[in-house]
Amino acid sequence: MEPSYYLVLSAMLFTIGAVGFMVRRNAIVAFMCVELMLNACNLALVTFSHAWGLLDGQVASFFVMVVAAAEVVVGLAIIVSIYRTRRSASVDDANLLKF
């Protein structure tokens, strides 16, 4: 197994996630981009774990998954309630918290 393929895939996924987060306005899409970045990280962790023959990376990826699941619960709830009050899921419209 050649780890570099997986790492390149992980980097590509992360880049798509990061760029997507910066360019897309829809909160749901931005949220999916965040998930994409987290999973890209997971892929990298698991790859390295496999390459070194150690379990540390695998364990860490479980933690990331737990955090991601919790984040989804809170994040989606926020997005839904913003949509209900403002009739919009655009992150650019939710810009009241500023100077």
Partner 1 sequence: MTPLEVVTPTAASGLFGLAWLLIALPLAGALVLLLAGRLTDAWGHLLATLMPIGSFVLGVVLFVDLLGREEGARAVGVPLYRFIETGGWRIDAGLLVDQLSILFVLLITGVGSLIHVYSIGYMAHDPRRRRFFAYLNLFVAAMLILVLADNYLVLFVGWEGVGLASYLLIGFWQHKPTAATAAKKAFVVNRVGDMGMVLAIMLMLATFGSSAFVDVDAGAGQMGGTVATVMGLLLLLGACGKSAQVPLQSWLLDAMEGPTPVSALIHAATMVTAGVYLVVRANAVFTHTEVASTAVVVVGTVTLLFGAWIGCAKDDIKKVLAGSTMSQIGYMLLAAGIGPAGYAFAIFHLLTHGFFKANMFLGAGSVMHAMDDDVEMRHYGALRRALPITFATFGLGYLAIIGFPFLSGYYSKDHIIEAAFEHNVVVGVLAMVGGGVTAFYMTRLMLMTFLGRRRWAEGVHPHEAPAVMTVPLVVLAAASVVGGLVLNNWIEGWLAPAVRAEAHEASLLHFTPVAAVTLLLVAGGVALAWVLFGRRGVPRTAPSTRSPFVLAGRRDLYGDAFNEAVFMRPGQELVRVLGRADETLVGGGWSATGDVLAGLSQVGRRLQNGFVRSYALTMVAGVGMVAVVLVLGRLA
CB atoms < 10 A from the CB of 2, how many? 8
Which CB sits closer to partner 1, 18 or 51? Answer: 18
State the minimum distance, in angstroms, from the CB of residue 55 to partner 1. 27
State the minimum distance, in angstroms, from the CB of residue 22 to partner 1. 5
What is the token pair recorded at 7?
């790492």
Phi, psi of 9, deg, nearest 5: -60, -45
Distances in whole angstroms, Cα of residue 31 to Cα of each of 5, 45, 48: 26, 21, 26
Which residues are at the interface with partner 1 (CB under 8 A)?
A: 18, 21-23, 25, 30, 91-92, 94-99
Which CB sits closer to partner 1, 4 or 95? Answer: 95
Which CB sits closer to partner 1, 54 or 78? Answer: 78
